[in-house]
Amino acid sequence: MKKEDPPICNRCRCQVTVKHILNECTLYSTARTSLHLDTDLFSCLKNNDVAPILILTSM
């Protein structure tokens, strides 16, 4: 949104995206499991409250 390159995930060494955080990053796998997030990004965003995992990413 700032017309900057996206940040790089310190754990995975890839670009940080919503999909990466909610579906791929190993750092948040426990949080995704405890929140029972769907593995499909569209379903995940449509059917789940992802606020708790997004709060984790801002810490």
Number of domains in the chain: 1
Domain range for 29 is 1-59
For residue 37 the two structure tokens come to: 């997030």
pLDDT in tens, 14-49: 999 888 988 899 998 998 888 888 888 887 777 666
Determine the pLDDT at residue 34. 85
Q: Which residues pair with 8 in a beta bridge?
A: 15
Determine the pLDDT at residue 11. 94
Cα dihedral across residues 15, 13, 26, 58: positive or negative: negative
